Amino acid sequence: MNRARLALGAFLAFMLIAPLVLPAFHVTLLNYIGLYSIVALGLVLLTGVGGLTSFGQAAFVGVGAYTTAYLSTAYGVSPWLTLLLGLALTFVLSLFLGFISLRLSGHYLPLGTIAWGISLYYLFGNMEFLGGHNGLSSIPAISLFGLALDSARKFDYLIWTLASLALLSMHNLLDSRSGRAIRALKGGGLMAESFGVDTARMKIIIFVHAALLASLSGWLYAHLLRFVNPTPFSINAGIEYLFMAVVGGAASVWGAVVGAGILTVLKQWLQDLLPRLLGQSGNFEMIVFGVLLVILLQRAREGIMPLIVNRFPAPRRPLPATTQVLPKRARPAAGEAMLEIRNVRKVFGGLVAVNELSFAMNSGEILGLIGPNGAGKSTVFNLVTGVLPGTGGEVYFRGERIDTLSARDIVPRGMARTFQQVHLLPTMSVLENVAIGAHLRGSKGVISAALRLEREEEAMLLAEAARQLERVGLGGHVQEQAGSLALGQQRILEIARALCADPVLLLLDEPAAGLRYQEKRALAELLRKLRSEGMSILLVEHDMDFVMKLVDRLVVMDFGEKLAEGLPQEIQTNPAVLEAYLGGVK
């Protein structure tokens, strides 16, 4: 029994006994912490994990609360039915709001959430049928199997059962194929898109998920208090929810509970203390919250959860055992046409970065693309992988035209890449980082992940990741954090991740940059081994020594144009190349 499990057991035991023995005031506090935790959990997913921010969650809480309040008082609809209706309404609303604001760059979403957070608040307060600013009262109690949950003590069990289920399903979700895709959003969408993650869709999913959790909390709130008015759904409440998520931090789903707990207790204490201290009444706790958050973001941006998580290290999990293997695509025969670039052109404003470039490579070949700084090599790379749209020309991959496709649609055709600047998720394990590469080889989504219905596929994905790590020689580092690896190992990790996509063509963007001599030799060794297994490799590289010993053929670029093409020995004696590199030494 390790400490993490003991702590979980102690928590559950406390939650079972607390409502029976604690004084009424503390039970009420516990109820509120539970309600707020559910909302904050959505924000841990949205903000902490996904890197998106909403100040408008209180409005979604309001949608859930008012839906049930209105329907159950005006039409006597069963609260269990109004829960579903509230969630459905929230789903539609959040889908619409997410769709219009998530397409824009980072800061429009939070600004948009402030705006519609205020709109919905005033709407609640001005609609006749919702009781205006006086609100709606006499909301019926929820009954469960004939037992009316009409006291705070009884209701506590309902709140914390649902909160625990929300925590568990979130924990499951983050530890899955979809969870890895969501965690990849924060580092910018480029890497995730390059392995086939539909980042726009993932953003909508987590936004809607967070909204649904808020709505659930609102439903509980309405039936706990049996009364609703607009105040708890104001923009200030929305801001406090975000504070909870930031204070707790995203290191674990428990950050939501810790953040909600700290802010709720602190608020209670300050609301008691400050008015006495200042001799007047008002929400003075705002000052403390504001200052506290500024200090926290300056000193400990990850919140306080990492401090707690480090005291309760999770046990190292053995790799799930599986005998099944992911299907692999058919390998092309050696010498088959692999990649062909025809008259490709790319213009940035007035700058011609790539001008009428053409070259081709065949299966089983290592082709080096070299050239001085600014020659346009990386641009060619981005054109081939679909990261940038070309201005003109055509790109063919195994006979199929791909220059009109996006990065996400090119991966499943059998092309995978690494990045010039490593794109890793430093706090995730090496294994999980590599498993992102296999994203498109699985298909199970968010719901099956939350319910743990995808364990078989997940085991196959992780086994594949472990196999690729073994293949590149990182088999001993599977459980380590990716950020703790040396740069050389991180570059190798990127190759393993690319291999996980089951490619027939590997594109490596300066894989030897920043590596030490021994690391370069090991890398060259690995690439030769991959070639002998039938892999085709397109390599952009600066290190001449490394390239000349490794590649079969070379394409030399200068000022966006092809300067020369041929075998390494030919290139080494080519006068035009010497001119470009050495400035015309005769």
Exposure string for 436-453, b = 16+ CB within 10 A, e = fewer: bbbbbbbebebebbbeee
Tell me the closest approach of the beta carbon of residue 52 to other proteins, in angstroms.
Answer: 8
- Cβ closer to other proteins: 285 or 432? 285
**Around Cβ 233, how many Cβ atoms within 10 Å?**
30
Tell me the closest approach of the beta carbon of residue 196 to other proteins, in angstroms.
Answer: 16
- Cβ closer to other proteins: 120 or 485? 120
92 binds other proteins (CB under 8 A): no
User: Is residue 475 a contact partner of residue 193, using CB atoms and an 8 Å limit?
Assistant: no
294 binds other proteins (CB under 8 A): yes
81 binds other proteins (CB under 8 A): no
Identify the three-state secondary structure at position 368: strand
Q: How many Cα atoms occupy the beta-carbon half-sphere of 376 within 13 Å? A: 26
3-state secondary structure 19-65: HHHCCHHHHHHHHHHHHHHHHHHHHHHHHHHCCCCCCCHHHHHHHHH
Amino acid at residue number 343: N
- Cβ closer to other proteins: 270 or 431? 270
For other proteins, the binding residues in 196-235 under the rule CB under 8 A are: 199
Tell me the closest approach of the beta carbon of residue 461 to other proteins, in angstroms.
Answer: 25
351 by Cβ neighbours in 10 Å (0-12 / 13-18 / 19+) ranks as: exposed
- Cβ closer to other proteins: 283 or 572? 283
488 binds other proteins (CB under 8 A): no
Helix (H) or strand (E) holding 362, with range, is: strand 351-362
- Cβ closer to other proteins: 158 or 293? 293
Residues 282, 313, 483, 534: which binds other proteins (CB under 8 A)?
282
144 binds other proteins (CB under 8 A): no
For other proteins, the binding residues in 49-68 under the rule CB under 8 A are: 51, 53, 55
15: left (phi over 0), alpha (psi -120 to 50) or beta: alpha
3-state secondary structure 411-467: HHHCEEECCCCCCCCCCCEHHHHHHHCCHHHCCCCHHHHHCCCCHHHHHHHHHHHHH
- Cβ closer to other proteins: 28 or 268? 268
Identify the three-state secondary structure at position 286: helix
Residues 189, 196, 442, 503: which binds other proteins (CB under 8 A)?
189
User: Is residue 501 a contact partner of residue 468, using CB atoms and an 8 Å limit?
Assistant: no
284 binds other proteins (CB under 8 A): yes
**Around Cβ 575, how many Cβ atoms within 10 Å?**
10
Phi/psi of residue 509, each to 5°?
A: -100, 105
For other proteins, the binding residues in 229-268 under the rule CB under 8 A are: 236, 239, 242-243, 246
187 binds other proteins (CB under 8 A): yes
- How long is the chain? 586
Contact characters 101-140, other proteins, x per CB under 8 A: x-xxxxxx-xxx-xxx-xx--xx--x--------------
- Cβ closer to other proteins: 243 or 381? 243
For other proteins, the binding residues in 398-417 under the rule CB under 8 A are: none
290 binds other proteins (CB under 8 A): yes
349 binds other proteins (CB under 8 A): no
Residue ranges that bind other proteins, judged by CB under 8 A: 51, 53, 55, 97, 100-101, 103-108, 110-112, 114-116, 118-119, 122-123, 126, 186-190, 199, 236, 239, 242-243, 246, 278, 280, 282-291, 293-294, 297-298, 301, 387
